[in-house]
Amino acid sequence: MAKVDAVEGFLQRSFKAPIDRINGAICTNDVYSLALPHLLIEFKGPEGSMLVGRSQCAYDAAFAVYGHDEAMKSLGKHVTNDKKVIVFSMSTNGELTDIFGHFATTKDTGDIIYYQCRLVRLPCLADEYEDFKKACSIIHNLQHLARQRSATLRDMLEAAEIASKNAASAVMPPPPSPSSKRPSSDPASSPSKRARVE
């Protein structure tokens, strides 16, 4: 994933499951690496291009959708790719703010196509105060939804890891009892030590 300006998700170290085995789950390879984010934000600045921001959102979010689908497959879940929005992204230059939804579909050939659709363009943040409050409320709700989705997926992965460990320990044979290894205290019962009688 390219360097994104802001992400709503959890640090890799907060996962108790080994998510490094999941393709696309980890954004970057450093101590602050985020895993399986569901909201990505691009800040373009007052002179920034909203078109460039949209392109960056499309690339970053496609990576996040791929990671989400791979995580679901690792859980044995069927990924339907039924055009349901999985990941959100946002691009803003301080005045205009676009919010996008992202999902993937699978063609009959097996190829996966990643889609981006603009869900809403928020009111100008620099105009009316009421518009500013409305935009902030929408962004806050979007952050909450993305955090909730990330937490749900994290908990599912951790529950699956615990279940896998419990199943592995259940099929392991119990250790032998200490009494079964204790040598006999009767010397005559041992052929190698039995006294010869003439």
Residue 169 covered by a domain: no
Tell me which residue range forms the domain holding 131: 6-163
Residue 176 covered by a domain: no
| Among candidate residues 41, 37, 45, the one with its CA nearest the CA of residue 54 | 41
Residue 159 covered by a domain: yes
Ordered per-residue pLDDT tens for the chain, 198 residues: 657 888 888 988 888 888 888 988 888 766 668 899 999 999 987 777 888 989 999 999 999 999 999 999 999 887 766 678 889 999 998 888 999 999 888 887 878 888 888 888 887 777 788 888 888 899 999 999 999 999 999 999 999 998 888 877 766 566 666 655 555 555 555 554 444 444
pTM of the model: 0.77
Residue 16 covered by a domain: yes
Domains of the chain: total: 1
| Among candidate residues 158, 117, 123, 161, the one with its CA nearest the CA of residue 139 | 123
Residue 195 covered by a domain: no
